[in-house]
Chains A and B, each alone.
Chain A
Amino acid sequence: EPEVTQTPSHQVTQMGQEVILRCVPISNHLYFYWYRQILGQKVEFLVSFYNNEISEKSEIFDDQFSVERPDGSNFTLKIRSTKLEDSAMYFCASILRETDTQYFGPGTRLTVL
């Protein structure tokens, strides 16, 4: 069964550094998402992406964040200047059609020191 993949599985960075989290959605999917989950808390929506542009974003997704689909297969989340509170698990998800179930990747654990 096709699956969403994410790399790296764990990223450790210093506060103020830039990080790029990578996702490879399922190949024929058209809608892409990033979520984050701070340890012990619920999964929070960050951003959705369709047709090479952001379709929706939450209040969490401020100017520090950006997304890109650079090459037709990867879907990246960039955090420009990481803060301690960015430490979380980041999940990527994708779907083919708007009404489909979202398939989640295994997540990237980001630790900001």
Chain B
Amino acid sequence: AQTVTQSQPEMSVQEAETVTLSCTYDTSENNYYLFWYKQPPSRQMILVIRQEAYKQQNATENRFSVNFQKAAKSFSLKISDSQLGDTAMYFCAFMTTGNQFYFGTGTSLTVIP
């Protein structure tokens, strides 16, 4: 069974500081994709970053980067220089080669001015 676990239901960070959101997953597949999606109060799901499991290099997208540890099945998101607009629900997601998505339960991040 494929599962995604986000163990931090809520987090907060001071503006301009760095925060790391954790995610672990379980799968027996070797080829898969991992994502972080942001869901602001508007509720639209916005892609933050994507990582292919076959790539060892951690994905980076401006202030967002991941720490992908394939052996440990861990996929954490680091947000640097946090901004007020980063306040949102963050979902870790996993996609198999059969292209079905599995989502974690989310981490609610609040950036404090």
Q: Cβ of A82: which chain B residues have Cβ within 8 Å of it?
A: none
Give the chain B neighbours of A35 by CB distance below 8 A: 101
Rounded to whole angstroms, the CA-CA distance of A106 and B100 in the bound complex is: 19
Q: Do B99 and A43 touch across chains, with their CB atoms under 8 A apart?
A: no
Q: How many A-B residue pairs have CB under 8 A?
A: 51
Give the residues in chain B near A45, CB-CB below 8 Å: 100-102
Q: Is there an interface contact between B100 and A43, defined as CB atoms closer than 8 Å? A: no
Of the stretches B15-23, B41-49, B79-87, the one at the interface is B41-49
Are B33 and A106 in contact, CB atoms less than 8 angstroms apart? Answer: no
Bound CA–CA A48/B96 (angstroms): 13
Residues of B within 8 A of A91 (CB): 45
Chain A interface size band reads 20 to 34
Query: Which residues from chain A contact B43 at a C-beta distance below 8 Å?
Result: 89, 106-107, 109
Interface size of B as a range: 20 to 34
Which DSSP category, helix, strand, loop or mixed, fits chain A's interface? strand
Q: Is B91's CB within 8 Å of the partner chain A?
A: yes
A61, chain B: closest CB distance, angstroms:
12
CA–CA, A108 and B6, complex, Å: 25
Smallest distance from the beta carbon of B78 to chain A beta carbons, Å?
20
- Complexed CA–CA distance, A32 and B4 (Å): 22
A28 within 8 A of B: no
Contacts of B105 in A (CB 8 A): 41-42
**Residues in A whose Cβ lies below 8 Å from that of B101:** 33, 35, 43, 45, 93, 102
In the complex, what's the smallest C-beta–C-beta distance from A58 to chain B, in angstroms? 8
| Pairwise interchain contact A43-B45, C-beta atoms closer than 8 A | yes
Residue of B nearest to A91 (CB): B45
List B residues at the A interface (Cβ < 8 Å). Answer: 33, 35, 37, 42-47, 50, 91, 93, 95, 97-106
